[in-house]
Chains A and B, each alone.
Chain A
Amino acid sequence: MRRIWKKTGPSLLLLFLAAGCVLGFCGCHGSKGLSPFEVPEELDGSRDYEITFWAKNDTNKTQTAIYEQAISEFEQAYPNIKVNLRLYTDYGKIYNDVITNIATNTTPNVCITYPDHIATYLTGANLVVPLEELFEDEAYGLGGSEVRFDSPSLEEIIPKFLEECRFGGHYYALPYMRSTEACYINKTFVEKLGYTLPETLTWDFVWEVSEAALAQDEEENFLVNGQKVMIPFIYKSTDNMMIQMLKQKDAGYSTEEGEILLFNDTTKELLYTIAEHGGSGAFSTFKISSYPANFLNAGQCIFAIDSTAGATWMGTHAPLSDMSKDKVVEFETAVMPIPQFDPENPQMISQGPSVCIFNKPDHQEVLASWLFVQYLLSNEVQTAYSETEGYVPVTSKAQESEAYQEYLSRCGEDNSTYYDVKIKAARLLLENTGHTFVTPVFNGSASLRNASGQLVENTVKSVRRGETVDEAYMEALFGDITSLYRLDQPGASGMPEGSAKEDLGELPRTSVFLLSSLAGVWFLMAVYFLASAGRKR
């Protein structure tokens, strides 16, 4: 049973709300806050360091082995730095545990994460290390003179990927791997239905073929596959679906400052289309039906949209599979960018793990952490890890390396290391990096992301249950989702402190009263202390 995202696992809905409480009240338990990190002049080699690395793998044994190998090699270069690995299989659980550990000052040193999550961590003072000074440090910076391995220079990190880690005026992370989404297509069935894949996949094409695939015989077997089950189009990540559709339509999602624009007429228009095809049975989602890969490989799906980092699960000869082999059918797999509204101006999401460093009272320990992070960007780690899935390395140094180029050139030589679907997925991103985008990062941006997916999930579930999807439904849906994700509350909407849009007015009377009370208590305590001191003398 594959459980990359354990179905019963936590979503991030309330985590962000809980995070505010934890970060707000951690002072009660003794956390005094950290001083801003300053780069030490040199790493104290007379000391031993032990750092913790919380990593995410895609439930992939090879990835685990690569992390372990990387740690082993790093420890050989730095025998006085020990790295403890803790493995996770989803970002949400890492986020959850980081939030929990912030309150007890037990955050990891290094953590694989998403920028949306870092935005929440940043509500704690000096919790995450801004990296600019470390980047440029002559001795220990990227490609620095005292670094004991061949690390990339700042210029060798793909600028677009690096910029994704910049928010609030600082670089708070480094990209580790990058992926996008791909449409994995049963080309055999598309052609059997009388269609030819266009050069650029469009939404209209996908919807049309998907509806055509629903034709059944008298015994309710689908004509295209001869089976009782056929869901022609399945989307794994419906938040990405809505986000990318809106971007392609140049419609609102959010501003850079955190103003929420998701609930607009274009969103409604998109949801009506999704409802139409969800209602007919032409479209479903991972949360409603299960993994797109399993349906695709069983000949029960034609268009499966999932991350390029899921490419090893896709296709008749996929190296990873958790379904019985007798269910897998033979077909030709095409790997294409996600459908577009404007083929001349393709747009697709950039995603994938980044890595951040948590601040510690001991700045030497932070420096040791930084060196390990740099090691994760070395060619050895970058090429090895990217080859486990349809990831691409985040440095030009690794992308252009002889080893990586040879890997790409051997596409299809076998069904493991050189599995064609996986390498085609990686190539897809390499060729479209200029067409990728990310959504604005602010405190609350992850809630907005979840909300955008929930709009799709609710709409599809509703039509499947026979509910009417009309204007009244949309109004209610928008209201429910706004309320569920607390997007109508200034704090949760992610409106940053001090933004021009904030107009707080006068201090509330309650606060005035509470402040006065506190001042009074402190005054009385001071009087009592002075009186006691006087008596002792």
Chain B
Amino acid sequence: MKKLAVLLVTCALVLGCAGCGNSGDGGSDAPDASNASAESDADTEEEDAAQEEAGADEKSEGVMTYEEYAAAEVDSQVTVETYVQAKQSWWEDKATLYTQDRDGAYFIYDMPCTEEDYEKLVPGTKIKVTGYKAEWSGEFEIIDAEFEILDGSYIAEAEDVTSLLGKDELIDHQNKFVSFKGMTVEAAGKDDAGNDVPFLYSWDGSGQDGDDLYFNVSLDGETYTFVVESYLCDNTTDVYQAVKELNIGDTVDMEGFLYWYEGVNPHITSVTVK
């Protein structure tokens, strides 16, 4: 027992000293991820421009088109080449990403990824992903995936899907970066005093600042629930603040990712009050 204690104390002291010693300028030898990605972006933008002239992505051998991916069975292995549009989270060496190519979008869930690589996955980055297609509460995603970073860059323009709300075709745009225009803010629930409120912390108002924000917007008499997903946009972001400042009756334009949970449940990234 004493030996173990001595061993632990020794290791703690030595490693502790090492840790403290490095804390001042740690990472100075490490590659500058932002610079690296900036250079990479510059290179890939040229290629991207060339590709845009061609009008379509060239898929490598064995890589599915979006159409083939969409037709693939759940639980089957899929390989796609796609572009990071936003990063939702990185935890325990796993990344969750919103990605999209020129034909459709792919939600990549819990993909093994080092922190260093995660830093490289800036919006626009082209990646080749091999994993399994899965469905969770209506959301199609790629899980248990591996990836590699490729040359190329693409950032999708928000596609206006306002007119598709309530229609079956909307799901064809699942996970894409989309916009909704001219929608009206409705009551999301009631506060303790029984007054209507424009947003809720958590789905039923049981949360606190920092949790997901839920709000309702309507169009043509139909009401939809949208969410500011706190891992994607936390309470320091503009969109989180903007939703907290909404008033019932406001007319808003919004952008976000067309996520699905038991129906359409967009993860909103920007809100503009008109």
Residues of A within 8 A of B (CB): 1-3, 6-11, 13-14, 24-25, 27-28, 57, 59-61, 63-65, 86-87, 89, 288-291, 294, 320, 322-324, 327, 461, 464-466, 497-498, 502, 504, 506-508, 511, 514-515, 518
Contacts and interface: CB of A to CB of B under 8 A. Distances in A.
B163 interface: no
Interface stretch (B132-140, B148-156, B177-185): B132-140
Q: Quick one: which of B75, B92, B132, B202 has the most chain A CB within 10 A? A: B202
Contacts of A294: 137, 262
Nearest to A322: B203
Chain A interface mostly: loop
Contact of A25 (B15, B137, B265): B15
B184 to A, nearest CB: 20
A14 B16 contact: no
Given A25-B15, A28-B19, A294-B262, A2 B10 contact: no
A24 B8 contact: yes
Q: Quick one: which of A28, A63, A498 has the most chain B CB within 10 A? A: A28
B1 A27 contact: no
B49 interface: no
Interface in B229-248: 231
B92 A64 contact: no
Given A25-B16, A322-B262, A465-B77, A87 B8 contact: no
Nearest to A295: B137
B204 A59 contact: yes
10 contacts: A3-B202, A8-B89, A28-B17, A61-B206, A87-B206, A323-B263, A324-B262, A465-B132, A506-B3, A514-B11
A61 B20 CA distance: 44
A497 B4 contact: yes
Chain B interface mostly: mixed
Nearest to B231: A8
Q: Quick one: which of B6, B11, B91, B262 has the most chain A CB within 10 A? A: B262
Contacts of B208: 86-87
Interface in B119-169: 132, 134-137, 144
A8 B88 contact: yes
Nearest to B5: A497
A3 B212 contact: yes
B207 A89 contact: yes
B50 interface: no
Nearest to A24: B12
B56 interface: no
B42 interface: no
Interface in B1-31: 1, 3-4, 6-8, 10-17, 19-20
A28 B20 contact: yes
A86 B211 CA distance: 12
B262 to A, nearest CB: 5
A1 B136 CA distance: 12
A288 B263 CA distance: 18
A288 B135 CA distance: 8
B75 A290 contact: no
A1 B203 contact: yes
Interface string B52-73: 0000000000000000000000
